[in-house]
């Protein structure tokens, strides 16, 4: 299965980011905490250069906490603050706002000159599709200022949003890049929901996911599905057993492997398979 998704609006978004970057004091780059490297767009990273950034690992409630802590430390540098948050938690977004205020180049510039500035800090919010940009913006704005949805491609154009935090947020559409050099990156983006399900093979995706979980998080699988992995030959047999145990059948009475695959992927995305991070800092270099 070849994973790729780069619709026309993403080309326009890339140009939009270039055009508006100079208007912003700091960038908030949202990454999926389960796939910190695969959800980091290399094209956008090149455009940002040495711009002040706050990297936010979202969906930390779904990720492996030990690995998340390691990734946060790894992603920090002289121009970058890093933080992991759960956007579903009441006030964790405030930690990001504090980091933004500390990182703002505007604040730093005028602080050196000993000048107080009342103008708001302008922040560009970036990330791949379905990483939580609109949810984050709505939390900071304390209202539904940006459309949200548990699917990629909800935001289609930029918008500036004022907040009570003396911050103006620029919401941008989620953007991927034209070609994934490594199809494992495409798989990770797809299985976490950054690529439309309609254009991928759900059975292949579930197969890859189960294969990874058998190797890295076997206890999570056994706990959720009550299947003895010692008796399982591989991911195909595991999915078949899930279908059999849950009586997921086609109209003719045969096992519905596609439906079982959908269920496994959906339960992974909801965190029902436990806290899982698909990228290990010791095995992946940036």
Task: Report whether 133 belongs to an annotated binding site.
Answer: yes
Give the integer Cα–Cα distance in Å for 251 and 239.
18
How far, CA to CA in Å, does 284 sit from each of 30, 58, 232? 19, 19, 28
Task: Report whether 174 belongs to an annotated binding site.
Answer: yes
Residues 221, 225, 3, 7, Cα dihedral to 10° = -120
Task: Report whether 123 belongs to an annotated binding site.
Answer: no
* Termini Cα distance of the chain: 25
Task: Report whether 134 belongs to an annotated binding site.
Answer: yes
By the 8 A CB rule, do 194 and 32 touch? yes
Q: Compute the Cα dihedral for 60, 66, 70, 73 and give only its sign.
A: positive
Give the integer Cα–Cα distance in Å for 201 and 190.
10
Task: Report whether 130 belongs to an annotated binding site.
Answer: yes
Task: Report whether 193 belongs to an annotated binding site.
Answer: no
Task: Report whether 103 belongs to an annotated binding site.
Answer: no
Going by C-alpha positions, the residue among 139, 149, 28, 127 that lies closest to residue 86 is: 139
**171: which strand partners?**
125, 159
Read off the DSSP letter of residue 83: E
**233: which strand partners?**
none
Give the integer Cα–Cα distance in Å for 97 and 139.
11
Binding-site residues sit at 130-135, 174
Binding-site residues for GTP sit at 130-135, 174
């Amino acid at each position: 299965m070849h994973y790729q998704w780069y619709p026309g609006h993403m080309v326009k978004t890339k140009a939009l980011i270039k055009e508006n970057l100079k208007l912003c004091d700091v960038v908030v780059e949202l990454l999926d905490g389960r796939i910190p490297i695969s959800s980091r767009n290399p094209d956008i990273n090149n455009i940002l250069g040495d711009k002040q950034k706050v990297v936010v690992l979202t969906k930390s409630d779904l990720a492996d906490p030990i690995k998340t802590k390691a990734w946060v430390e790894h992603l920090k540098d002289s121009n970058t603050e890093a933080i992991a948050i759960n956007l579903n938690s009441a006030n964790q977004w405030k930690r990001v706002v504090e980091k933004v205020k500390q990182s703002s180049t505007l604040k730093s510039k005028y602080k050196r000159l000993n000048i107080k500035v009342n103008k708001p800090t302008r922040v560009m919010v970036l990330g791949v599709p379905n990483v939580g940009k609109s949810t984050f913006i709505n939390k900071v704005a304390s209202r539904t200022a940006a459309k949200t949805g548990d699917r990629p491609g909800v935001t289609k154009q930029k918008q500036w949003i004022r907040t009570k935090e003396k911050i103006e947020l620029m919401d941008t559409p989620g953007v991927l890049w034209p070609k994934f050099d490594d199809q494992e990156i495409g798989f990770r983006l797809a299985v976490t929901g950054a690529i439309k399900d309609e254009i991928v093979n759900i059975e292949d995706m579930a197969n890859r996911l189960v294969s990874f979980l058998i190797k890295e998080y076997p206890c999570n699988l056994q706990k959720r599905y009550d299947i003895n992995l010692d008796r399982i030959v591989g991911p195909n047999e595991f999915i078949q057993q899930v279908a059999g145990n849950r009586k997921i059948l086609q109209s003719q009475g045969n096992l519905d492997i596609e439906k079982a695959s959908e269920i496994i992927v959906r339960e992974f995305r909801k965190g029902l398979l436990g806290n899982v991070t698909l990228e290990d800092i010791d095995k992946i270099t940036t």
